[in-house]
Amino acid sequence: MLPRVEASGGRVLGPTGDMPWGQWVAHVHDPDGNLVNLTATLA
């Protein structure tokens, strides 16, 4: 997912990671500069 964000002109902000509440989290800027939080439930 993150390589696709960067290939589309977005930018990953800081490290991504697994959170203690059971989610993977990433913060990115989309190509227009909007902040987007990406999350996924860990299995």
- Structural domain boundaries, residue 24: 2-41
Average confidence (pLDDT) over 2-9? 96
Q: How far apart are the first and last CA of the chain?
A: 18
15 class by beta-carbon count within 10 Å (0-12 exposed, 13-18 middle, 19+ buried): exposed
The answer to whether 25 touches 11, Cβ cutoff 8 Å, is no
d(CA 13, CA 33): 11
Structure tokens at 13: 């902000």
Average pLDDT value over all residues in the chain: 97
Q: Per the structure, how many domains does the chain have? A: 1
**pLDDT at residue number 39:** 98
